[in-house]
């Protein structure tokens, strides 16, 4: 059975060889196809080589950068500068261990400032804190100060708010200087928990 299969194959192969030897256009076409295949393979190899060279060039550049960075001696100084900046930023926030204490601190601070500024008929409302249930966020307490508008007392109150080193945001300000002069000042106090401040 194997011999029977080989005989037609050998006959077919001999026929192809005879056609190749007798036909010049067939020979030229085959050689042209082989040449095109070789050229294509050479171009592929060149593209691969260029890509590899670019890859190694990038690796070498990154390696040189890392070496230059590792030779720098200013890292401890930069780290200390970053820590100092972070400390100054943290000092801008109010600190409290819990929401109730934070709310009491805001109420006491506003009571003192309103009294010292001399705002008449002052009414202070401190809203429920937000953000104290999550340690990874800045907590916020909003408060509202209403009272009789007098330029001197209002100026003293604004000066106290502006002079406070800890963060106080003026969310809304309304001055009514008509029949019944009044102020409506809405503020936000930003808090960190001590565990955040110590990071």
- What pLDDT score does 194 carry? 63
What mean pLDDT comes out for the span 136-163?
A: 89
C-alpha distances (whole Å) from 33 to each of 25, 30, 37, 38, 39 are: 12, 5, 6, 9, 10
Q: Does residue 129 sit in helix, strand or coil?
A: coil
C-alpha distances (whole Å) from 59 to each of 39, 51, 67, 72, 92 are: 30, 12, 12, 20, 44
Residue with tokens 């037609």: 8
Say which DSSP state 142 is in.
E
Query: Of 188, 106, 108, 118, nearest to 149 (Cα)?
Result: 118
Quote the mean pLDDT of the chain. 81
- CATH code for 94-197? 3.30.70.60
Conformation bin of residue 44: beta by default, left when phi > 0, alpha when psi is -120 to 50: alpha
What band does 44 get if pLDDT is binned at 50, 70 and 90? confident
- The residue extents of the domains of the chain are 2-66, 94-197
pLDDT in tens, 127-136: 988 888 776 6
What mean pLDDT comes out for the span 129-155?
A: 85
What mean pLDDT comes out for the span 152-162?
A: 91
Higher pLDDT, 69 or 7: 69
Whole-model pTM: value is: 0.56
| Confidence check: pLDDT of 17 > 70 | yes
- What pLDDT score does 108 carry? 95
What band does 88 get if pLDDT is binned at 50, 70 and 90? confident
Query: Of 198, 144, 129, nearest to 174 (Cα)?
Result: 144
Radius of gyration of the chain (CA): 41
- What pLDDT score does 2 carry? 45
- What pLDDT score does 196 carry? 52
C-alpha distances (whole Å) from 37 to each of 7, 27, 28, 42, 46 are: 32, 15, 14, 9, 14
């Amino acid at each position: 059975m194997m011999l029977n299969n080989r005989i037609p194959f050998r006959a077919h192969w001999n026929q192809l060889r005879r056609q190749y030897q007798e036909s010049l256009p067939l020979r030229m076409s085959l050689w042209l196809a082989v040449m095109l295949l070789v050229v294509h393979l050479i171009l592929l190899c060149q593209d691969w080589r260029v890509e590899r060279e670019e890859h190694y060039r990038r690796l070498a550049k990154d390696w040189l950068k890392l070496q230059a960075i590792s030779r720098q001696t200013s890292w401890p100084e930069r780290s200390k500068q970053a820590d100092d900046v972070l400390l100054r930023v943290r000092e801008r926030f109010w600190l409290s261990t819990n929401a109730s204490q934070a709310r009491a601190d805001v109420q006491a601070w506003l009571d003192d400032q309103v009294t010292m500024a001399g705002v008449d008929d002052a009414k202070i409302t401190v809203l429920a804190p937000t953000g104290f249930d999550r340690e990874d966020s800045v907590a916020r307490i909003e408060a509202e100060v209403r009272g009789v508008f007098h330029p001197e007392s209002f100026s003293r109150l604004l000066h106290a708010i502006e002079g406070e080193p800890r963060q106080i945001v003026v969310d809304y300000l309304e001055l009514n200087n008509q029949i019944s002069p009044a102020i409506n000042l809405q503020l936000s106090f930003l808090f960190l928990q001590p565990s955040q401040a110590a990071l």
